[in-house]
A = this chain, B = another copy of it.
Amino acid sequence: MATRMKLKLKTVFVLYFMVSLLGLVYALMQLGQRCDCTEHDMPKDRTISRLRGELHRFQEQIRKSEATKQPQKQPAKPTIFVITPTYARLVQKAELTRLSHTFLHVPQLHWIVVEDSPHKTPLVTDLLVKSGLTYTHLHMPTAKDRKLQEGDPSWLKPRGVEQRNEGLRWLREDRRAQPGGDNQQGVVYFADDDNTYSLQIFEEMRTTERVSVWPVGLVGGMKYERPVVEGGKVVRFHTGWRPSRPFPMDMAGFAVSLKLVLANPESCFDGDAPMGFLESSFLQGLVTMDELEPKADNCSKVLVWHTRTEKPKMKREEALQAQGLGSDRAVEV
């Protein structure tokens, strides 16, 4: 009786052992299989785009919340000092507005805005205060004999010369006043207020050792102008006009290390330089073609565009003003 009981128990035990072993093996096999990711049914690009969007919003949220808390402890990226000359005109506020939206996405950017004006204007002052950017607001009127007159073609006299030089002057003085070992760390870029900048161009220029260069789109009557790179070196320039100029490049196509700017305290833009030689007048004393650092995938990518905004027509405004029905002058445009 006891033996039979023992046998029965043994059988049950063995049976249970077999069944449970099979179950475990099956479960383990399932674990090893590839996932069934039902979410992947959604077009993947849309998912990626949605996630990127959400990520960006979180980053913004964190950036804002960190700004109110302790100072961020990021590995110190070199600051990009962007010098932007600007002058009063109908589209000024619009241009500076969209430019500020681009700069807001760039970490460690210090905007040096230099008004072509005998004083700081309320429009620019207010815009900078509200911009959320780190900035310095300067002004420097263009000498009368150098100023473009109404109706002059835009190429007759170079614009923004005194303003860029004032930006350089401030920067040199400010850096001297900043104690510490990393007061020479940084990059200087001259960004006019009507151009269009990708975000990538700022990361390209951030590693500038002396002078970095890249293509500029829609400039000089060309689809793009660019340095031509062979074996990692700039060997000539693709340009539609006088390629023999020392540096036949647009202002938007290069950045200079702060160190180099500080080591050459007299380097500046020459307002009397012949047409098309303004960039060369500044770069000539700083660098040779051989030393230029090609960025943007060996100058094969257009990451900045020389866009120009149309001057708005004011025909109807003038007609209404003649009848005393013009737009309210108190409304800032």
The residues in A between 174 and 209 inclusive whose CB is less than 8 angstroms from any CB of B are: 196-199
Q: Does A233 sit within 8 A of B, measured CB to CB?
A: no
The contact string, 1 if C-beta is below 8 Å from chain B, for chain A 286-306, is 000000000000001110011
Question: Does A314 reach chain B (CB closer than 8 Å)?
Answer: yes
Q: Are A222 and B327 in contact (CB under 8 A)?
A: yes
Interchain CB contact under 8 A, A317 and B223: yes
A222 to chain B, nearest CB (A): 5
Q: How far in angstroms is the closest Cβ of chain B from A98?
A: 5
Contact B55 A132 (CB under 8 A): yes
Task: Please measure, in the bound complex, the distance between the C-alpha atom of A134 and the C-alpha atom of B49, giving whole angstroms.
Answer: 6
With a CB–CB cut-off of 8 A, which chain B residues contact A56?
A: 104, 132
- Let me know if A76 is at the binding interface, CB within 8 A: no
From A9-17, A143-151, A275-283, the one touching the partner chain is A9-17
Main secondary structure of the interface of A (DSSP, over half): helix
B218 near A50: Cβ-Cβ < 8 Å = no
| Interface status of A284 (Cβ within 8 A of chain B) | no
A129 touches B (CB below 8 Å): yes
- Residue A232 lies at the interface, judged by CB distance under 8 Å to chain B: no
Q: Which residues of B contact A119 (CB under 8 A)?
A: none
B129 engages A91 (CB within 8 Å): no
| Chain B residue at smallest Cβ distance from A196 | B94
With known contacts A24-B24, A39-B34, A101–B315 Cβ distance under 8 A:
no
A244 within 8 A of B: no
**Stretch of A57-65, A157-165, A253-261, A262-270 contacting B (4+ beta carbons < 8 Å):** A57-65
Q: Which 8 A-B pairs have the closest CB atoms?
A: A240-B316, A35-B35, A2-B2, A221-B316, A27-B27, A58-B58, A94-B305, A51-B51
In the assembled complex, 7 residue pairs joining A and B whose CB atoms fall closer than 8 Å, in A order, are A9-B13, A31-B31, A49-B131, A49-B135, A220-B316, A240-B320, A308-B309
